[in-house]
Amino acid sequence: MSGVDEPAVHAIERLAASPRLLVALDFDGTLSPLEDEPMDARMLPAARVAVEALVEAPETVVAFVSGRSLVDLRVIAEHGDDSRVLLAGSHGAEFWIPGEGLVTHGEDEDDVRLRDTLRAHAERATAHLDGVWIEPKTFGFGVHTRRADPADAAEANRLVDAIIAEEAPHWRRRTGHNIVEFAFRHEGKDSAVAELRERVAATAVLFAGDDVTDEDAIASLGPDDLGVRVGQGPSAAAVRVPDIAALAALLSRLAQERTRALG
């Protein structure tokens, strides 16, 4: 199986025969390169081809599972109302389902007011730091430091950590590639995958991701599932690929094998 190593070959062969497969994929760093301007992110052509092939494969459901707000995820994924790809945004606090549209578990007005207050406090506290950007999110905000030097990045995180510790110590804190996220919702990618699995009645799940938050989902997978880590870093994944191109090759092969096995 060209371009796919031996552990992945066996995993693909096993998943190819599963009656109903959910392929759940992180977006940034997994299907799209990480960008200094987050809204510039787009799927690499090979990743897009692989996703489209999986969407067409028999008894296969594709979902993007992201920390992005749903509205932003739809933009970067170039996701139209006629798409057959399911979306889980904000780490699984909001979903987009074909035929239904937006599905959310609701939010409290007090939480929304506090979100807006804390976001404003974070923006003011970090305004003097070059390269630091506060990203609005549906259920909180993110502190981006990709374009900041290490000293300014550390100072931004220290300042915002202090704000949250004083004003919202119950909020969830997550770290990623040059970002720290804060949210009043506590869902994670593990709960997102569990909800998607139940919704589509999947008999097996493949989840692929590249970051710390993706490990919540990978660690939650069962013996019939497969976790794939893209790039370096500690991981519970059974399969590791070096980059997006290698993941695209794996996914394309999976689509071919499922079509062969179930078609």
Type of residue numbered 73? L
Question: Average of pLDDT values for 211-238?
Answer: 95
The pTM of the whole model exceeds 0.85: no
Angle at 230 between CA 227 and CA 233, to 5 degrees: 95
Residues in the chain: 263
Task: Supply 18's token pair.
Answer: 């599963």
Question: Is residue 4 very low, low, confident or very high in pLDDT (cuts 50, 70, 90)?
Answer: low
pLDDT at 110 over 80: yes
Question: Average of pLDDT values for 104-131?
Answer: 92
Residue 79 neighbours by CB distance under 10 Å: 16
Edge-to-edge strand list for the sheet holding 172-176: 133-137, 140-144, 179-183, 172-176
pLDDT at 1 over 90: no
150 CA to centre of own chain: 25
Q: Read out DSSP for 178-217?
A: TEEEEES----HHHHHHHHHHHHT-SEEEEEE-STTHHHH
8 Å CB contact between 228 and 1: no
pLDDT at 2 over 60: no
Strands 179-183 and 172-176 come out as antiparallel
Question: Is residue 200 very low, low, confident or very high in pLDDT (cuts 50, 70, 90)?
Answer: very high
Strands 60-65 and 21-25 come out as parallel
Beta strands in the chain (DSSP E): 21-25, 60-65, 86-89, 94-97, 101-104, 133-137, 140-144, 172-176, 179-183, 204-209, 226-230, 239-241
Residue 84 neighbours by CB distance under 10 Å: 11
Type of residue numbered 173? R
8 Å CB contact between 154 and 194: no
Give the integer Cα–Cα distance in Å for 87 and 5: 29
